[in-house]
Amino acid sequence: MIPRRLAALAAAGWIVLSSAAAGVELAPESITPFAGAPEGAAMPSGWRPTNVPGVSRPTVYDIVRDEGVSVLRARARAAMSGLDHVVSVDPERMPILSWRWKVSRPVNGGAAGTKQGDDYSARVYVFFDYDLGRLGFLARSKVKLARAMHGDAVPAAALCYVWDAKAPVGTVVPSAYTDRVRMIVVDSGAAEAGRWISHSRNVAEDFRRAFGEAPPRVNGVAVATDTDNTGDDITAWFGDFRFEAATEVRPAR
């Protein structure tokens, strides 16, 4: 049975996938699109909300029409929560994750790699089914301690693509709370705010650069807009997500 919620750490700025626990059934490679959903409809099948323990105000997610296409809207006012989607993807065979997003503006006071500024107008997480036995003793002990405190869903490896307030595009830094989540800045600042920006990331290559080894299977993705640390008021929009082979990349809707 696939878990119904994503576990999360309050104020930690990183989300952990419930399905990372051993023995659960994984979803197929496809990610349910938003484009086919009517405005105001419930979240499309496969997308599930998560509230963050210790954060009283969740981000509000809904389906809206934008330029004639249904998309996901995220509204965060001193808030944090996310949406996750379980997948099962071989990143060597289908390494390209494509999506598009738009933000009202960057987070005031956001600062990648710091706890007080660990808020982002838009995040996209990619979770990997990483064998804890591959870690050295110290890193493995840190993950085990985190799991003892927060549950077995704490990831051993994840990438988080972000729209940051000021860090240069291409910046890669560990999460302020764990070096097993690497933050990758793919948009920054206000110059492109209010415009749709499309991205296609080779998650296999990004994993190798971030962690210095070959990637294990991808077992989930998640989106989030969070402002719980800075208290800001931000709106973001997300288009459809898709994993593809490197030769099949198409513009995201």
d(C-alpha 95, C-alpha 15), whole Å: 21
Identify the sign of the CA torsion 244, 27, 84, 143. negative
pLDDT over 80 (residue 133): no
Q: How far apart are CA 237 and CA 132, in angstroms?
A: 34
Residue 11: the pLDDT is 31
Residues 160-197: tens digit of each pLDDT: 999 999 999 999 999 877 788 899 999 999 999 999 99
- The DSSP line for 137-183 is HHHHHHHHHHHHHH-TT--S-EEEEEEESSSPTT-EEE-SS-TTEEE
pLDDT band at 46 (very low <50, low <70, confident <90, very high): very high
pLDDT tens for residues 219-248? 999 999 999 989 999 999 999 999 999 876
Which amino acid makes up residue 218?
Answer: V
* Residue 250: per-residue pLDDT: 60
What is the length of the chain? 253
- Average pLDDT of the chain is 83
pTM: 0.84
Higher pLDDT, 23 or 161: 161
Closest to 196 measured CA to CA, from 98, 54, 83: 98
> Is residue 211 helix, strand or coil?
helix
pLDDT digits (tens, 9 = 90+) for 94-107: 999 999 999 999 99
Mean pLDDT, to the nearest integer, of 72-94?
A: 95
**pLDDT(22) > 50:** no
**Which domains, and CATH codes, for the chain?**
7-244 (2.60.120.260)
Helix, strand or coil, per DSSP, at residue 205: helix
pLDDT value for 248: 61
Distance in angstroms (rounded) separating the CA atoms of residues 220 and 172: 21
Residues with Cβ within 8 Å of residue 81, at least 6 apart in sequence: 8, 49, 50, 51, 52, 55, 58, 59, 61, 224, 226
What's the whole-number mean pLDDT along residues 114-124?
A: 85
